[in-house]
Chain A
């Protein structure tokens, strides 16, 4: 094992190895951080979408995209009744409540959506609410009244009646200046949504959250289901690394041991292994995976199993066999037989270690190819349906025509991470290749 350690020590001379290692360590560190901060169960819960994301905008760009473009796009604002100055006038069998939801709007662009979430603690008799929108220049818009269930979501943006009155979608119309002609201009200043509530029960309370959805969000943006893409980009790292590493280890180790066993036992064992390999080599892997994904299961672990199973009798067997055949005949193997070493010992301790140094670079460059395979499967819609992965993000982007709508970040950020992963392992692999295959060093 000493030459192996010496070889690894020599890696320091290759800048590409250091860069590759830095990338890999950064990815591994981030993966560990992700798994610790967002546990597996929570990640699945988040990625299912829906309720946890109701206060997130749809298809918001990452903040940095906005910065680079020099825009001042609105962020998401949540105006809560908990911070408001509430006036309450009780009467027999109920009370009258005025909740002013005030906020300053100072962005150069209109918000992307406007929603009001109401929670009431009434038991039987539903409270009644009347909504009034006040602009900084003291115009008032009546947004109508309604009875409230315990959980109520008032989608102001989807109020068709209001849209007809404003002549524009509400989240634009409500924030636009008074000018009637020309494109709407954002009116900056202090806005207020006044809630006039009549509660018909003395103990009832009401809470309100006005969400003014922005057009940018976080470092990664959001998708069509309001999910923060950061969850998928972060969780994609451990998933990709685990898949790549397990698949690479699984295929390399089994392939190596089987090749060595074939070489050692020879005869019909070798013949069977070689024929199986030849048949397996011509079987196309991707269509088989597509079939498994379509007909059986798209669970990433099933896919991993199939990838390893198909990878066992791969072309690697031919390569290892060619490398092991001369080793089988070497005198030290004969010596081992002469002092009684068993077959397993000879294969695992005497034959395989001999080609291990040559194998390591191949192994390292094999990892990203499996990462890409997993992403390709997900892109084809065969990704694990519950797991957030890079391929899944790109698949969503594709089905939502992200590029057509100009949501470049949606495709580019997972693609960049995939490339970074490939780059890290490739740079390390090439340096390892030079260390362990010294003949390449002079070239």
Chain B
């Protein structure tokens, strides 16, 4: 990546990616035609991502984080609302523009082995996106594959180019996945739980690698995780998701030090500290389970599990987006 390309990129004013009232619902049908309802995986999400920042989407499994990632990538069509990239709504892009958009957004998945076609060697895996995007020259593709491997610290690249995914360790596989996401020189990377399937020993390495690449290239990094404990070091802003909606958003330290939403507070309380006292201490966890996305509860989605629920309010109407502290938004009736 040369300097001028980075300048051009950072000169685009405003947010690089925005979601406006984004809904992704999956229709459930019976006998192939009767509509019996929808799974509301993403249910009214708004956010702006600034150029060059790393943000984390945090939430329990089943809260819609992965569906959100796929909607941002255009793998799911939003039911309502829009995704705006560099000022243009994805819904208005034609085929070629959509393809160009996909080249500008890299995708890192959760399961590195599954994310790599087992019958292709690393060289082929890295060439594929280039072939799809019309890089005809084989030598050029090879050159870029080498650069990408160097970038993810798989060196010398020659040792890896002719390897098949099953010959690599989990960490190496994930590095190849990251190299593939980088090879089209994207403006943004969406990483969906990039380390949750890796050994604890390589998690931090991979996260540091992502962070370093993000800073080096001035990329925007959307980082989806269920693990609040690692977020602190690898993101600047956090979005907390619950049942398909963003319930709280703030700068990392602000959010971790002053959680406002009862759900965020519960999540933070559940982080395990390496403290011997923990062995004797029963943590308080919110009772119950995340709600069904098929029939979410009326009002605030969290109210059935919330210990500070305001009867007659929380169970009637969804709370508006409030800003109890400077730059710290949350959707909770407590701060009305």
Contacts and interface: CB of A to CB of B under 8 A. Distances in A.
Interface of A: 1-4, 330-332, 334-342, 345, 349-350, 353-354, 356
A341 B128 contact: yes
B103 A340 contact: yes
Contacts of A338: 73, 75, 102, 105, 107
Contact of B132 (A4, A330, A345): A345
B133 A2 contact: no
12 contacts: A2-B119, A4-B119, A331-B111, A331-B115, A334-B70, A334-B75, A335-B180, A339-B102, A339-B103, A339-B133, A342-B132, A349-B128
B94 to A, nearest CB: 13
Nearest to A341: B132
Contacts of B73: 338
Interface of B: 70, 73, 75, 98-99, 102-103, 105, 107, 109-111, 114-119, 121, 128-129, 132-133, 164, 177, 180, 184
B132 A350 contact: no
Nearest to A4: B119
Contacts of A330: 114
A335 B107 contact: yes
A1 B121 CA distance: 9
Q: What is the interface of chain A mostly: helix, strand, loop, or mixed?
A: helix
A268 to B, nearest CB: 10
Given A332-B114, A334-B75, A339 B119 contact: no
A356 B120 CA distance: 13
Given A3-B119, A332-B116, 9 more contacts: A331-B114, A335-B109, A336-B132, A338-B73, A340-B102, A340-B129, A340-B133, A341-B132, A350-B117
Contacts of B75: 334, 337-338
Given A2-B164, A341-B132, A332 B115 contact: yes
A349 to B, nearest CB: 8
A64 B73 CA distance: 75
Contacts of B121: 2
Nearest to A335: B115
A356 B73 CA distance: 30
Among B99, B115, B133, B184, the one with the most A-chain Cβ atoms within 10 Å of its Cβ is B115
A38 B115 CA distance: 55
A83 to B, nearest CB: 70
A36 B107 CA distance: 57
A340 B103 CA distance: 7
Contacts of B115: 331-332, 334-335
A58 to B, nearest CB: 59
Contacts of A341: 128, 132
A354 B110 contact: no
Contact of A3 (B103, B107, B129, B164): B164
Given A2-B164, A332-B116, A350-B117, A339 B111 contact: no
Contacts of A2: 119, 121, 164
B110 A340 contact: no
Top 7 nearest A-B pairs by Cβ distance?
Answer: A340-B102, A338-B107, A331-B114, A339-B129, A331-B115, A340-B99, A332-B117
Among A3, A349, A356, the one with the most B-chain Cβ atoms within 10 Å of its Cβ is A349
B114 A339 contact: no
Contacts of B109: 331, 334-335
Given A335-B180, A354-B118, A340 B111 contact: no
A357 to B, nearest CB: 8
Nearest to A327: B117
Contacts of B102: 338-340
B256 to A, nearest CB: 31
A4 B105 CA distance: 33
A189 B121 CA distance: 80
B185 to A, nearest CB: 12
A337 B70 CA distance: 10
B30 to A, nearest CB: 16
A4 B98 CA distance: 35
A336 B180 CA distance: 10
A339 B117 contact: no
Nearest to B186: A339
Contacts of B129: 339-340
Nearest to A354: B119
Among A3, A334, A339, the one with the most B-chain Cβ atoms within 10 Å of its Cβ is A339
A336 B128 contact: yes
A308 B103 CA distance: 41
Nearest to B130: A339
Contacts of A354: 117-119
A437 to B, nearest CB: 16
Contact of B119 (A1, A334, A340, A345): A1
A334 B192 CA distance: 12
Contacts of A1: 119
A269 B107 CA distance: 29
Nearest to A329: B114
